[in-house]
Copies of this chain bind each other. A is one copy, B any other.
């Protein structure tokens, strides 16, 4: 019995991966998407309004739309599973998953994105799931009429504060710096105008305290602030550890690609938030563009293989 070999394996399940799957299907490639979280990071977006043609959509509804679009194309198999190992022999790729599957493929698109960064504050680890969270849209509803704090100074922190202002009694937004890191003036304005949000600049959280659940935080100014929830929104870590043994080039753990989404290794492409070198603006629309580019050049690569 001949072993099944895919033309293309797409690792990840966010907008970049899904777009790669759609394009690969249109090129009639026999492909498979393997990812643990349908939609990836975008599912945590409360409201998205910068994807042209789809106004005011939640990350979850947007994910449903693009996954449904992909599912129409039968050429791309979908596997909700976690990749735990990957190796290469003679330009073929061998992927093993948590569910015990072994998948063989002639080419690879890596689109595993990024995950939220930990703050390394005293008490943070202890209170994860007991008041400390990294996903506002997942856990926000738990804090109805309670006091919460958001840590961070970028778009995600400001968006998180806004989102929580609709739920919580009071939102503290704590920035280590003296000004926001985002250039989105629209966003800054909305936060500043919001009566429920209090921004504390040049402030750090030194400790998260409580009995069984979070009760308060202590700042570097030795202030105690009573809160039930601590939302940490301080940046992203590329999910690239798995691919270190593929001998591809990295930069600060992001995967280096050129304008064809090629990595430094033949047959290995990358797209979306995990990449650097091609498109540095991280947005759904740019991730999808890279998904389209990666599938297009994977198709060209397979033709010449």
Contact = CB atoms under 8 A, between A and B. Distances in A.
Interface of A: 15, 18-19, 22-23, 25-28, 49-55, 62, 65-66, 68-70, 72, 183-186, 189, 259-260, 278-281, 283, 285-286, 288-290, 292-293, 296, 299-300, 303
B53 A62 contact: yes
A207 to B, nearest CB: 36
Given A18-B52, A279-B293, A285-B285, 7 more contacts: A28-B186, A52-B69, A55-B68, A55-B69, A183-B300, A260-B280, A278-B279
Nearest to A296: B281
Contact of A51 (B53, B259, B296, B300): B53
Contact of A283 (B70, B260, B292, B303): B292
A53 B28 contact: no
Contact of A289 (B25, B65, B279, B299): B279
10 contacts: A26-B49, A27-B186, A52-B288, A53-B62, A54-B54, A55-B69, A183-B303, A259-B278, A259-B279, A286-B293
A281 B292 CA distance: 8
A15 B62 contact: no
